[in-house]
Amino acid sequence: MSLRMIAFMVLGLVFLYGLFTIGFPFLLALLTAIFLERLIGLLMKYLRVGRLTAAAFVCTFFTTVALGLTYIIGFKIVSETIEFWKRAPEYLNNANAYLQDAADQTLLFYQSLPPDIADQLQGWLETGVKGLTDNLNHIVTAISGYFLNVAKTIPSLFIFMFVYLIALYLMCFGLPRIYEAFLNLFDKLSRPKIVTVMSDLKKALLGFLMAQIILGMLTYIVALSGLLILGVDYPLAVALLLVVVEILPVLGTSAVLVPWAIYCFVTGDPHLGIGLIILLLVIAVSRRLLEPKVIGDAVGINALATLISMYVGFELIGVIGLILGPVVIIIYQALRRVGILQFNIKLG
């Protein structure tokens, strides 16, 4: 492999990293524009309207539907969260009452024991209660801190959405020109190869998005089934909340189910607490087992390569590496297939 090819590969990786971080709103707008391109073409063909009109109609329709769904889902989650916090004092009172009753029962038990044994058991109990209290405070502080950080990012989120929507309209208006301008960067002999690489990358990225939708639906079905079996309140909203926190970095379903299970144990409902822990394990195991296979089938690489690329990407650059890792493998395979990237190890 020549130094020139190595330099191009390094620059390409740096460009991809920047695209998936700073340039993510533009990347998302480009993917959405590619996804909507067929619908725009159908409107232009059957309604005989110009590209500007068709693109404006499709973008507006897509934006309206997306914002509507976001509002409905967000409103449901926020309303259920507000209802939960309204009932939080009741939950705390129940927990305090249970702990007080447990303390009274423990005191009666101590009085029936020899003094040395009673003192030793009391010391163990105090240590256990202190450890449980410290862990609960740590969990509450961590969750509160996370949501506080999320609240601080709301202005940035609005800027992201504004940039994304403007970029979406502009890219839908001029996607063919953007495509031609990109191809003009290469000589005529290289263009068919670049077209093949771009086609593979397009299919893989759209497949990746579809894979995430499938995984989200599977998580929702598993969570909803488990919550219905456990007989909890608001199973539809809670299952949706679990899907949302599973998508968010760092949190995951454990951020909801673990504190909930601890609360159940503290308030004297161990059956529900055990059920929530089992549900957490089922969701985590099923998603970890299915994720490499689903993503691998969707993007066109085998499950082992997907798993390795996601793990290496995550270890190197964090959460964004979970997406960028498979993308690098896809581009590598496409470049080898069209003959742009050819090297073999020769021994002796």
Write out the two tokens for 197. Answer: 């690489």
Top pLDDT among 98 and 30 is at: 30
pLDDT for res 110 = 63
DSSP states along 255-307 = HHHHHHHHHHHHTT-HHHHHHHHHHHHHHHHHHHHHHHHHHHHHHTS-HHHHH
pLDDT of 129 reads: 63
In 305-336, which positions are buried (b, 16+ CB within 10 angstroms) versus exposed (e)? bbbbbbeebbeeeeebbbbbbbbbbbbebbbe
Please write the tens of the pLDDT for every residue from 233-267.
778 778 887 887 776 655 578 878 887 888 788 77
Write the burial class of residue 28 (CB in 10 Å: 0-12 exposed, 13-18 middle, 19+ buried). Answer: middle
Backbone angle region of 225, left / alpha / beta, with phi > 0 → left and psi within -120 to 50 → alpha: alpha
Look at 20-24, 129-133, 202-206, 332-336 and tell me which has the smallest mean pLDDT. 129-133
- Average per-residue pLDDT for the chain: 77
- Local confidence band at 100 (pLDDT 50, 70, 90 cut-offs): low
Report how far residue 100's alpha carbon sits from residue 321's, in angstroms, rounded to the nearest whole number: 48
- Going by pLDDT thresholds of 50, 70 and 90, the confidence category of residue 204 is confident
Is the distance from CB of 262 to CB of 273 less than 8 angstroms?
A: yes
Planar angle of CA 284, 239, 208, nearest 5 degrees? 60
Instruction: Flag whether pLDDT at 4 surpasses 80.
Output: no
pLDDT at 213: 83
Query: Is 301 exposed, middle or buried (CB count within 10 Å of its CB: 0-12, 13-18, 19+)?
Result: buried
For residue 58, pLDDT over 90 is answered with yes
- Contact at 8 Å (CB) between 245 and 255? yes
* pLDDT confidence of residue 334: 76
163 pLDDT more than 80: yes
Q: What is the mean pLDDT of residues 151-174?
A: 84
C-alpha separations of 258 from 86, 163, 164, 255, 266 in Å: 21, 37, 35, 6, 12
How far apart are the C-alpha atoms of 341 and 123, rounded to whole Å? 68
Positive or negative CA dihedral for 272, 275, 281, 287?
negative
Q: Give domain limits for the chain.
A: 25-185, 190-342
Whole-prediction pTM: 0.62
Provide the 8-state DSSP code for 45: H
Once rounded to an integer, what is the mean pLDDT over residues 301-318?
A: 77
Categorize the per-residue pLDDT at 143 as very low, low, confident or very high, splitting at 50, 70 and 90.
Answer: low
- How far CA 40 is from CA of 36, 47, 51, 52, 65, in Å, comes to 6, 10, 7, 9, 16
| CA–CA separation, 300 and 201 (whole Å) | 10
Q: What is the pLDDT of residues 121-131, one digit of tens each?
A: 667 766 766 66
Count of beta carbons in the 10 Å neighbourhood of residue 172 = 25
Residue 178: pLDDT over 80: yes
Q: Confidence band (pLDDT; 50, 70, 90) for 89?
A: low
What radius of gyration do the chain's Cα atoms show? 27
What does the alpha-carbon distance between residue 134 and residue 69 come to, in Å, rounded to a whole number?
39
Other beta carbons within 10 angstroms of residue 75's beta carbon come to 10
